[in-house]
Each structure stands twice: as structure tokens, then as C-alpha cells.
A = this chain, B = another copy of it.
Amino acid sequence: MPANAFYAQSGGVTAVINASAAGVIETARRHRSKIGKVFAGRDGIIGALTEDLIDTDRESASAITALTRTPGGAFGSCRYKLKGLDEHRAQYERLIDVFRAHDIGYFFYNGGNDSADTCLKVSQLSSALGYPLVCVHIPKTVDNDLAGTDNCPGFGSVAKYVATSMREAAFDVASMARTSTTVFVLEVMGRHAGWITAAVGLADDDEHPIPLLLLFPEIAFDEAKFLARVDAMVKTRGYCCIGVSEGLRDADGKFLSESGLRDSFGHAQLGGVGELIAKLTREKLGHKYHFALADYLQRSARHIASKTDLAQAYAVGRAGVRAALDGDNAVMISIVRSSDVPYRWSVGRVPLTRVANREHMVPRGFISRDGFGITAKARAYLQPLIEGEDPPPFRRGLPRFVRLKNIAVVKQLPPFTI
């Protein structure tokens, strides 16, 4: 009997993470002689710890294919970070116990920075315990901040969403600015890295010129300089659109909108900087403002997903299985770009030691000298990632998504409290 595989989704979900799941499951199904069943963790790694495994073999081929058109995490994801091997040794050992009980020889972890680190540690412990396990990390993050890959599945679709939304809103604001709103602010995700903020910049092009300012988390907020730019734009072009990162910081490195809340990873829960920036322009310059907070809408907007992003999300899932079949342990599947125009990419494999606990920030050369825009280099990088449309089927006017049966595997072990 071939070994089974375990697949889990981790951290914030995306419009295309289920395409990676489909890539894993469909590819595994084509290699029945080497991979038995694919078990998915219910609610991510928590499913492994609690032995709550979903038997993906109970899902039809068409249901698995339909994952490519369904946002969110079909098996559930979680924000549960496995800490150091010493601190969380019992958890790591439990994982191996569960894997052993279910003949799991492949571990596919579909997530961002934190899960790359977990994937590496699981690989190290299984090796130390002499349990044969091939661990492959499948990249996913809207933040696009994973090291070792040209870009991250999930990002391209958010990029397309925020650029589309800003362009559309700018056409609205432009037509009302004479007597109504002159400042429009769109707050976007990206706690530390300003990739999504940069993508807002694509809204403005030769054919659709928009008076647009970007506020990056990488650039300390300079109130006086910012207000002067807003004022000049409103005076010369009638209105001003602003894309601001939730992670905008002041010169002391403090988040402008620190709410005091923290998520279970210990990260500050942000939100509200868009409103703050909008109100600032009114208070200091007297402008009438509106602001939008796209929040989860931006990362779940499957209806406007990037076709390139979808293809890459599927490809990293498929390539993950192929790497595992090659016995390539403790690697992450990467996306390798060989050309901007025409865009050419392939998948590669990078050792997890080169990925875990690093962050891939927006290079300074991607941000214009004044700090409020993107450069031609940034455009060349971003442009191919938003190319192409692949909308889901619509039924009765709305996108039609799939909900899996998610049938649990019978437990073999005593309960475990996490």
C-alpha cells in the first residue's frame, strides 16, 4: 500500500488557495500507485493535531475541479502557529503520531511565512524521530512577502481587485468632484510589505490617468509632505485618490492605527488608517472625503481573480506533489520568472531553510523617489500577475461556488488537547 498524504491550508485564505488544493488532489489521484489517499486537515493544522482528518477521496472529481472556482479555504484554515520545537514539542510529536496512525508519508502545507517555518520544523522532527515524511510547502499569501519565490499565489488576484476597484472608484470621484467628494481613500491589506499598495498604482495608466497617491508601509508617513501633495492634486486635477496600506507607520515605526488588539500569532490587528487619513485631509485641508475598506472582499474576490494567479496557484499544488514523488523533502515550490514581456514563468523548488522567517519586502527601486507612487520597474513586475480573467460560472446572477462534503476519517488515537 502506498503512503497517504496530508494537506492543510494555513493562515489567511485567498481567492485561489483552493486551486492549489485542487492541484494537489488531482495530481495525487493521477499517481495512485505512489500516493494513497489525500487527507485534509479540518481547519488546517488543528485538524492534524486533533486527528480531525477529511477524506478527500469521498469528493467527486467534479467537486475537486470546482475548487478552482471557489474562494476561501474549502477544508478550513487556521491561525495557529506551532512555535519552537522545545516549546511545542508535544504538538510536533502528536503530528507525527497522527501521521503514523494514518500511514501518512507526505505533508503538504499550503501557507505563508509562518507555515513555511512550521513545515521546516515538522520535517526536522520527523527526521530526528526517524519517521519517513516528505514535507513540501506550497506557497500562498496575498501579502506576496515570501522569500525564495518571484511572487506568491493569492497576490495576483488581490492586486487585480484593488487596481480594478481604484480605477472604477476614480471614475466615480472624478465625475462628482466639483461639488462633492474630492478625496477618496482605499485602505488595503499588507501589514509589513506594500505589495498590495503598489498594485493599486496599476489603476493609473496612460489611457486612464488618475491623480493617485500611495502610502506604503515601507515609507514612514510624512504628514506635511503628504498633505502638500494632496492639496496640489486637488488644485490641479480636481480630486485625489489615495491607496493606503493598513500597515502605514509613522517615523518612529509605530502603526498609525494601532488598535491594541492582537491576533493569535501576536500580530497587531490593524484597520482604520484609511479613515484616519481621510479625516486628516478634511481637518487640515477642508476636503470632502470618502473612504472604502475592502477588508476580506479583496482577498476573497474570486469573481475578478487573475487568470495568471489561478494558473500559478494550481501549478504550485501540482508541483508540490511532483516534488514529493521525487522525494524532495523540506522544500517550497517557487514561481520562477524568466521574462517580463512576454511573461514567462515556471515552477521551481527552494530549500525551506532559505524561506522560513524571512520577509520579501517591496524594493525601494519599486517605489518612486517621492515615496507616493510606483516606478516602471514595479509596473514591469506587477503587470503580468494581474493578467487574464477566469470568472466562475454564475447562476441566478451570482457566482456559484462548491461546498465539499468534508467527511471525517475514523479516529485511531486518544484525544489531544491543543
Contacts and interface: CB of A to CB of B under 8 A. Distances in A.
Interface in A1-29: 9, 12-13, 15
Interface string A364-393: 000000000000000000010011110100
B398 A163 contact: yes
Given A180-B79, A300-B171, A387 B397 contact: yes
Interface stretch (A97-105, A144-152, A399-407): A399-407
A394 interface: yes
A284 interface: no
Interface stretch (A110-118, A203-211, A212-220, A225-233): A203-211
Interface in A150-201: 160, 163-165, 167-169, 171-176, 178-181, 184, 186
A272 B279 CA distance: 13
A55 interface: no
15 contacts: A9-B175, A15-B168, A46-B179, A71-B171, A74-B175, A80-B179, A160-B398, A165-B297, A168-B297, A169-B300, A202-B398, A290-B295, A291-B295, A292-B296, A386-B398
Contacts of A207: 395, 400, 403
A293 B395 CA distance: 26
A383 B160 CA distance: 28
B391 A389 contact: yes
Given A71-B168, A386-B397, A398-B386, A180 B304 contact: no
A403 B208 contact: yes
A70 interface: yes
Contacts of A386: 396-398
A383 B397 contact: yes
A72 B292 contact: no
A301 interface: yes
A62 to B, nearest CB: 14
A143 interface: no
Contacts of A75: 175
A264 interface: yes
Contacts of A12: 176
A72 B202 CA distance: 19
A56 to B, nearest CB: 15
A121 interface: no
B304 A304 contact: yes
A178 B72 contact: no
Instruction: Please list the 5 inter-chain residue pairs (A to B) with the smallest Cβ-Cβ separation, ordered nearest first.
Output: A72-B171, A73-B175, A386-B397, A292-B295, A172-B300
Given A160-B398, A294-B292, A387-B397, A178 B76 contact: yes
Interface string A43-67: 1001000000000000000000000
A141 interface: no
Contacts of A388: 397
A303 interface: yes
Contacts of A398: 160, 163-164, 167, 202-203, 205, 386
A137 interface: no
A168 B302 contact: yes
Contacts of A203: 398
A349 interface: no
